[in-house]
Amino acid sequence: MNKNKIPITKERNRDIILDENDIDRCIDKLGLSEYRKRIILRKLKQRKLIPLHYKHKKLSYILKVLGFAFGDASLNFIGKRHDGILGLSSKNPNDLEKIRRDIIKIGYTPSKVYVKKEGKYTTYKVHVNATSLLILLHALGAPIGDKTLRRYRVPNWIFNCALEQKKLFLAAFFGAELSKPEPRKDKPTLFASPQLEMAKELSMENSAKEFLEDITYLLREFEIESVIYRRRQVYIRKKDGRKTVRYILSIKSTPENLINLWEKIGYEYNEDRQNLTEYAVKYIRYKLKLIEKRKELAEKVKKLTLLGLKLARIRKILKITKEDERFVEEIYLKTKQGKQIPGIRLPRHVMNFTEFMKQCSKK
C-alpha cells in the first residue's frame, strides 16, 4: 500500500494532479533538452492537458489509457531523436479501435490498427508517435521501457480519485491483465479465481508485491477480497538470460466477491471478457436463486415434519419433483432425528456455466 495517502474529500478533488512544474521535472529526469522541453510543454498546453485536475473533462480517457499502459502497452523512446512512442496490442481489433477513439478524445492521432503475425499467433497493434503523450503518461506514473526491469507502483494520485475514476483505471488494467471468467475444470458449476500475474527481475521482486498490494488496497474499496502469492519457480528469460520471479494476485471466488468484481469493475478494452462477465453474473445469481428456493423448501419440510406428517404426505402437499426427492428425504430424516440440517447445496444436476451460456444464447 502506498504511503501518505490523502483522504478523498471534495476539497482534494479540486486539487491539481499534474502541472507544468511536474512535467518540467519529469523531462529533466529523462535528460531531454531544453528545446524539446519547450515543444512538449507547448503541445500539452495546446491540448489543454496541463494543468490536469480531478475534474478535468479528459481525465476519464486518460485514466483508461493509463490503466492499459500498465498492461498490454509499452512506452519507449526510439530512433536517433529519441521520439516517444506508445505501443498498444490486443487479440481483438475492436478493442484497439475503442482505445484509438479515446486517444483521439485526449487530443492525439494514433495509427490505424495493423496485424502482426508471430508464428501461429496473430496480434493487433496500434502505435502513437507522440513524445508529449509519452511524457504525460510517464509523469502520471506509467513506466517507460521493459516493465519487468522497472520499479513502479500504482500512482499515488489514483488513490485520491473518486470511486468511479478508480474503476476506469482498474477496468482498463484488468482488461489487459486479469484472467477471464472461467469455470473450474474439476467443478464446472464453480468459477476459478480470476488472477493476474506480474513478473519482475529477481533483484526487484518486492516491486511486484508492492504494486499488487496497491491493487488489493483499491479492490477493497469495491468490497472485493484478494490474496497475493509468489510462484516458487525462478524463471530465466530467453531474450537476455535474466532471472525473474512471478507474483500472482488471486481474487477470491465467493459469489459476492465475483459479482462485485464483474459488476462494479469489469474489463475495459476487452469486449470478449466483458461479454463473459454478463453471463457469469447471471449464472451466479441463477445458482443463488436455486439455493434460496431450496432453503425455503427445507423450512417447509421441517415445519410439516414437526407437525407429525409422514414423508409421503409432505411430498404430495409440496408437489416435490423427482430432482428434489432425495433432498426432501434428507431434511425429513434429519428433522425426525433432531439433528442439525446441513448447509444447503445446489441440486446435483444443475447445469454448468457452459450449458447455461448455451441456453441463454437460444433465448
Tally Cβ neighbours within 10 Å of residue 115: 9
Mean pLDDT calculated for residue range 86-98: 96
Output the CA angle 126-211-23, nearest 5 degrees: 60
Which residue ranges make up each domain of the chain?
10-269, 285-362
Averaged pLDDT for residues 132-157: 97
For the entire predicted model, the pTM comes to 0.90
Average pLDDT score over residue span 175-196: 95
pLDDT of res. 177: 97
What phi and psi values does residue 264 have, to the nearest 5 degrees?
-85, -25
Q: Does domain 10-269 have CATH number 3.10.28.10?
A: yes
Which residue has better confidence, 348 or 243?
243
238: pLDDT strictly greater than 70: yes
Task: Report d(CA 112, CA 361) in Å as an integer.
Answer: 33
Task: Tell which residue, 75, 56, 76, has the closest CA to residue 66.
Answer: 75
